[in-house]
Amino acid sequence: MDFYRNSIAERPTLPQNHEDSRSTIALDGRKLWGYVVETGEAMHIQLSIDDWERMGLVEGQRIPVRLPDRADLWLYVQSVTALPPIVWVVMVRRLRVVG
């Protein structure tokens, strides 16, 4: 799978001003446990690699994301960094297109 290309990458560096929480979230209608870090520009989600593989999502895909006590947000999967046994998924409202 494509997201394994980053398997030797270091953990993503997060901005100093962020909110984080560990909770049940829903990605594309599937509930799972995740560690969520929200910044002004993106949502960084840490999941187990097993959960991520079962979901079959890919970079560039737009999916509904639901956090506790909030309405669904439609976000794009911007990048996935695999650090077995976890993955960091970066979700954004808009993808930047190079061209």
Residue 98 one-letter amino acid: V
Domain ranges of the chain: 2-6+18-92
If we measure between CA atoms, which residue out of 4, 13, 28 comes closest to residue 81?
Answer: 4
Q: For 17-35, what is each residue's pLDDT tens digit? A: 556 668 889 999 999 999 9
Give me the CATH code for the 2-6+18-92 domain, please. Answer: 2.40.10
**What pTM, to 2 d.p., does this model score?**
0.77
- Position 1 scores a pLDDT of 45
Tokens at 67, concatenated: 């956090």
- How would you class 25 by CB atoms within 10 Å of its CB: exposed for 0-12, middle for 13-18, buried for 19 or more? buried
